Amino acid sequence: MPRVYSRCHFCGGDVSEKKVTVDYRWGNELIAIIDNVPAGVCPKCGEQYFRAEIVKEMEKLAHSGEEPVRMIEIPYREMAIAS
Ligand SMILES: [Zn+2]
């Protein structure tokens, strides 16, 4: 059963549900990549909309002490711009 999202807040596009990958970040040091997240995606501007229960579920997953599916390395860089 397809879920109905409102039109895109930014461009009025016809938002429909897709599975997306989310870089879920909390604090300064922790990032979890969560795959297969249902989200409303705008086909025009790409804006993503998450239902409240999905956000809660991501929070739960990110904070759960359970072993992640796998660990990945993420490059860390700094931008050096003379101001
Ligand atoms: Zn849009």
Expressed in angstroms and rounded, the spacing between residue 53 Cα and the centre of ligand 1 is 22
Q: What pLDDT shows up at residue 66?
A: 87
Expressed in angstroms and rounded, the spacing between residue 15 Cα and the centre of ligand 1 is 8
Q: What is the pTM of this model?
A: 0.78
d(C-alpha 15, C-alpha 59), whole Å? 23
Expressed in angstroms and rounded, the spacing between residue 67 Cα and the centre of ligand 1 is 36
Residues 13-71 have pLDDT tens digits of 999 999 999 999 877 778 889 999 999 999 999 999 999 999 999 989 888 888 889 99
Expressed in angstroms and rounded, the spacing between residue 5 Cα and the centre of ligand 1 is 12
The ranges assigned to domains in the chain are 1-83
CATH architecture for segment(s) 1-83: Roll (3.10)
